[in-house]
Chains A and B, each alone.
Chain A
Amino acid sequence: MSLLEVTSLDAGYGDFQALFDIHLTVETGELLALVGANGAGKSTLLRTIAGAIAPMSGHVRYAGADITGQPDFMRARTGIVLVPEGRRLFPTLTVEENLLVGGSTRRDGPWNLSAVFDLLPIVADLRNRACSHLSGGEQQAVAIGRALMSNPDLLLLDEVSLGLAPIIVGQLYAVLPNIRERGMTVILVEQDLSRTLAVADRVACMLEGRLVLAGRPAELTREQVTDAYFGHGYGYLDTDSGAAR
């Protein structure tokens, strides 16, 4: 049985529809990478899976149960945790307090303060600092640690590398295998193609709110992915063919 099953999903903000007829399944223990250009709908899809956005139509099933109508905080308690775009740490709380709030779901599992400190030593060093004074990379490390604190079954990582120096991104990606070795399922949103193709079990490309290509990195050519990324040959934004949508 798949851990997550998204069917015929339409979603958006107010009158603006950002996702069109998304079908997606994710198996337990898998790392799925969502790639696509800015505004392709990757973050919206993650937020809809996390329950922060209610879909316009379609269904989300998780561990066999239909959770389409379940609010975000209930989903976190059943094991779906989102590391949101922009980190969204609690700025007036210390690093350690942020982690403790992350553990609010009180789910059983391997992750606790000392496990997170072992995984991310930088976070341990900062434990008593207020989060408003951290660098972007430090904040991202805390945000990942905070999400782990709730011992999720499905971890949703939104734009981990956004605005960070490559060396820091490398350090963050280096801990992914440690997170995954305990069986956690991960959906990763990323704009950096080569980094994504290196870590992902499966890649799904989004273009203007639609899933246009999915497969294992080994089975996809780099051209296929970049074409899907930029929309070449998909009838979108394709200036050469002269055909608008």
Chain B
Amino acid sequence: MSWLNAVVQGVLLGGFFAISALGLSIVFGVMRIVNLAHGALMILAAYGSVLLIERTGLGTWSSLLVVVPVMAALGYLLQRLVLQRAVSISELAPLMVTFGISIMIPNALVELFTSDVQALPTGNLATRSVSAGGIAVGLLPLLTFGIAVVLIAGLQLFLARARSGRLMRAAADDSQALRLMGVDNRVVYAQATAIAFATLALAGVLFGVRQGGVAPFDGQVTVLLAFETVIIGGLGSLWGTLVGGIVLGVTQTLGGEFSPEVPLLVGNLMFLAVLAFRPNGILGRETRA
């Protein structure tokens, strides 16, 4: 029973990994930029919630109403003012810039909040669970998984049907041709980055809620997990992030059955195995990485 339990928990954990990977996947899919600051930005968003809860008395969930739009706006500006310039310099420049950001954020957070864990209270949501067939499932992981499915379906629909979603796919295909159609590709890029930042903000707050709080350097773990999720699932597919997340989540929880110390290591080894034997990911078709 404990094995089945581990698999169920792993699948639900995969929902969280999928949410945290979406932003990385979108930014790479549309702009071919790998955002090394992805994890640090998640944690920044979680600290945004911490700050709002402290200063305004908002709850964790209602703080999302502020944090998500603010992070989206930050993404828009960062793309327009900084990353767009970096892309025009060299292939390495956007990597160096985002890595620089990933160093600045946690150190600034230490200075502003100390390196202690900051709590993100959610009432009793984190501890409540529902039981079915002898397996107790946490309400929070269940909710997270539900959010992941709805979010991915929504984004997929947006990209397939909405005008700006269509322009994002067109920009990913051929940004120069898009400009000849009267569309400023830089605006499209900034919109895509804004969406990516909105999802990573949500992921960051969910991370804090799951863990019971956030610490400044947590982003160094979350960026790697998000990245592994993208690669395992296969690049260029949003549903792939859910598959990648589930594979990674189940691997980790099964690893945890052996020893509480090894889930991260086992997950990383799973990632390396995928890299060695299925380099295009589980759902991947073409070589893009």
| Residues of A near any B CB (own CB < 8 A) | 50, 52, 71-74, 76-77, 81-82, 84, 88-93, 97, 100-102, 104-105, 146, 150
Contact = CB atoms under 8 A, between A and B. Distances in A.
A146 B177 CA distance: 11
Given A88-B174, A93-B166, A101 B179 contact: no
A81 B182 CA distance: 8
| Interface core residue of A71, A84, A88 (most chain B CB under 10 Å) | A88
Nearest 6 A/B pairs, CB to CB? A76-B182, A105-B182, A88-B177, A90-B173, A73-B179, A90-B170
B182 A100 contact: no
Contacts of B179: 52, 71-73, 76
Interface residues of B, number: 18
Interface in B151-181: 163, 166-167, 169-170, 172-174, 176-181
Contacts of A101: 166-167, 170, 178, 181, 183
Interface of B: 163, 166-167, 169-170, 172-174, 176-185
A73 B183 contact: yes
A104 B180 contact: no
The DSSP consensus for interface residues of chain B is helix
A76 B178 CA distance: 10
A102 to B, nearest CB: 5
B163 to A, nearest CB: 8
Given A97-B166, A100-B166, A91 B173 contact: yes
A150 B179 CA distance: 12
Given A84-B177, A88-B176, A90-B177, A73 B182 contact: yes
Contact of B181 (A71, A91, A102): A102
Given A97-B166, A100-B166, A101-B166, A146 B181 contact: yes
A103 to B, nearest CB: 8
A157 B179 CA distance: 16
B166 A73 contact: no
Nearest to B176: A52
Contacts of B177: 84, 88-90
B238 to A, nearest CB: 14
Given A93-B166, A97-B166, A104 B181 contact: yes
Contacts of A150: 181-182
Given A90-B169, A93-B166, A97-B166, A105 B176 contact: no
